[in-house]
Amino acid sequence: MTQAPPLPPLHMQRDRFDPVPELAEVREGPGIRRVQSVFGAPAWLVARHEDVREVLADASRFSNAGGLAMRMPGDTRSAEEKRRAMAGQMLAADPPDHTRLRRFLTPEFTVRRMRRLEPRIVEIVDEHLDAMERAGSPADLVPSFALPIPSLVICELLGVPYADRDEFQHRTGRQLDLSIPMDERVALQRESRAYMDRLVAGAKADPGEDVLGMLVREHGDEMTDDELAGIASLLLIAGHETTSNMLGLGTLALLRHPDQLATVRDDPESVDAAVEELMRWLSIVHTGVARTTTTEVEIAGQTIPAGELVLCALPTANRDPGFVDDPDTLDVSRGAMGHLAFGHGVHHCLGAPLARMEMRIAFPALLRRFPRLAAAVPFEEVPFRAFHFVYGLHSLPVTW
């Protein structure tokens, strides 16, 4: 008898595109539930849109610092190694330290600055579509399109040699796969850190015109080498993992909704709203970083003592009927702002303008180039990434 695969923790459980019904029961019932986190520690899972916004907006009561990174069973790193690994990791920092780090990067990720990248992103998208067309149908959309486009963009932006992409993509994918044994993930983390240390050393010796070079030139005397390495690591991982999974999963969602696919393909005015709706409906980041209560708090009518972990169920919150009407239906004309797929508050995704631009360019370009695009396997056979910190697809075979 074949043994069923283990289930991810409740906050990561999905049925293809949808959060599992049990999560909706939490949202429509008490709004909060005591659960086991992915690392085994108990946590409070918050499920309603209004309550999740409250948690994300209040860094003073719900701290990002000292959360799960310091509590993982099987983590053999010393306290000093963990401290170095956390340096520069804005997602694991609270104000004022978070404010200081983010201030260094904010000018590089404004909407205006991102618009300067638009011609290059168009070029990168077209190059990959040309390569797909030359190779011919069928193709796997994930390695041929969804993954390399944001990867190349963030490599160029950050100053990472694109020749290294296979190496860091493999490491990142394994690090974010929470079914991988902890000792292997620790080893991968150490490899990643050594790689980032080499990048920082190179940027300090010869700072280029990329983001890492800018940080060295303009803020090198305000930042430690550990902080430079931590920021570079965060940008590299976040810059290709999130958008690439949105491109793969979003394409499959549109293929399952042909009328909405046609809208995105044929109506340029609809694309911005479609990107927002795909972000809301898919919500590829399950919870983001676990928060730790700094004092006794009350959320969703539940009193939580200081020192407890709090998880935010982002996909469930984004499908809250109190936030949008008919929330389980994909409607690319909706374009509801206020979704939490990019987070909220001081930790709202710094790279959101870049991610939006990449999707706004890539989705319609793909659909116009291949107007007969179709999945090459039955929907039930498409492999979803159940245990990953960032939800998505392992592969998406397509024809045209």
Question: Which CATH number is 306's domain given?
Answer: 1.10.630.10
Q: Is residue 2 part of a domain?
A: no
Per-residue H/E/C for 7-74: CCCHHHCEECCEECHHHHHHHHCCCEEEEECCCCCEEEEECCHHHHHHHHHCCCCEECCCCHHHCCCC
* Any domain includes 4: no
Average pLDDT, whole number, for the chain?
90
In a domain, 3, yes or no: no
Number of domains in the chain: 1
Question: pLDDT tens-digit profile of 98-141?
Answer: 999 999 988 888 888 888 899 999 999 999 999 999 999 999 99
Domain that includes residue 246, residue range: 10-399
In a domain, 5, yes or no: no
| Least confident piece of the model among 172-186, 189-203, 277-291 | 172-186
The verdict on residue 149 lying in a domain is yes
Asked if the structure places residue 81 within a domain, the reply is: yes
Q: For residue 1, is it within any domain? A: no
Assess contact for 159 and 208: CB atoms under 8 A.
Answer: yes
Residue 164 has pLDDT above 90, yes or no: no
CB atoms < 10 A from the CB of 178, how many? Answer: 16
- Residue 103 within any structural domain of the chain: yes
**Residue 50 is encoded by which pair of tokens?**
């209004």
Residue 5 is predicted with a pLDDT of 55
